[in-house]
Amino acid sequence: MRRIAAVVVVLGLASSAAMATPYASGIVNLGGGMYSFVLNQDAGNVTVDRWGDTPLDLGALSKGTHSFSLGGGTGFDIAVGSSAAAGWTQFSNDADNTSQYYSPRGVAVNRNPWSSNFGSVYVSEGLGGPTVAGRVTTDGLYAMSADQADVFGQGDTAYAGGVDWTTGGTNSPFKITVAPDDSVYITDWSDAHSGLWRAGAYPTGTWPNVLGNYNRDAAGLCDNHGSIPSVWVEGTGDGTMVYTLDEDLDLGGTTGSVLRYDVGSATDYNGLPVEQTQDGTNIILNL
């Protein structure tokens, strides 16, 4: 099977205060004019607008994988509509093992609509252990499709990227984000294992450390970073810029700052960052 990028139109018919929106992702060409897609949650109505053929009204569909025929069309849009009460909406299933974690620290969703990985969900488990659903997790990263299915066949063991996350305690790994190039950046907010790593969209293999972990002291301070609780990434390739919240690095007489690293395509980057804010009170750090 081959994943393709298609135009996906997501129509949010809910109140403007609603916190969740159903959408289609994970589009796969099944062959023979058949395509499948994944809904991240139940939808009130799904319509496939087939270019050059009549629209398909699939009606109300449940969360999960669905398929349709392209017929005589040359392409398609998928419009997903729903209405929901204002407020937060839980769309994970408490009885589903893949939605259960012992001590999760971060969650990130691939929001790049033209990517074949659009909708992928990643969870960082800071401390593995037995969950209420029965499975036992390990320290590291879990990857799922938009409906929280274990599409990679990962099972209960987290991806670790060749990194020993147990050395940093319960905040190792910590917060995560998906970059514009679909890679996943993983922070570590511990003293013993402070740093930043990068995994692929399919996070197998070894993960390189983004920043150099040179001369780490007992408080987590290295040559160009300290303990990192959060990260944001802009740009791709040589234009990649990484923004971090940093607990320890002092560039201007204070710590607890937002820092920018112009890392480009480098790994083990040891250049100094550009300070974006100064916050000696740690107010920003503790938000």
Q: Write the pLDDT tens digit of every residue in 166-218.
A: 999 999 999 999 999 999 999 999 999 999 999 999 999 999 999 999 999 99
User: Which residue type does 44 have?
Assistant: G
Alpha carbons within 13 A on the beta-carbon side of 177: 16
Contact present, 218 and 190 (Cβ < 8 Å): no
How confident is the model at residue 9, as a pLDDT?
A: 37
Distances (CA, A) of 87 to 14, 84, 236, 286: 10, 9, 34, 24
Q: What is the pTM of this model?
A: 0.88
How confident is the model at residue 5, as a pLDDT?
A: 39
How confident is the model at residue 17, as a pLDDT?
A: 32
Q: Where are the domains of the chain?
A: 2-81, 92-287
In this structure, the number of other CB atoms found within 10 A of the CB of residue 22 comes to: 26
For the chain, which ranges sit under pLDDT 70?
1-20, 84-86, 278-287
Distances (CA, A) of 209 to 44, 129, 187, 197, 265: 43, 25, 10, 4, 12
pLDDT tens digits, 116-133: 999 999 999 999 999 988
The pairing of beta strand 2-3 with beta strand 230-234: unpaired
How confident is the model at residue 27, as a pLDDT?
A: 94
Residue 60's nearest CA partner among 83, 77, 34 is: 83
Q: What end-to-end distance do the CA atoms of the chain give, in Å?
A: 43
The edge-to-edge listing of strands for the beta sheet with 195-199 is: 176-178, 184-188, 195-199
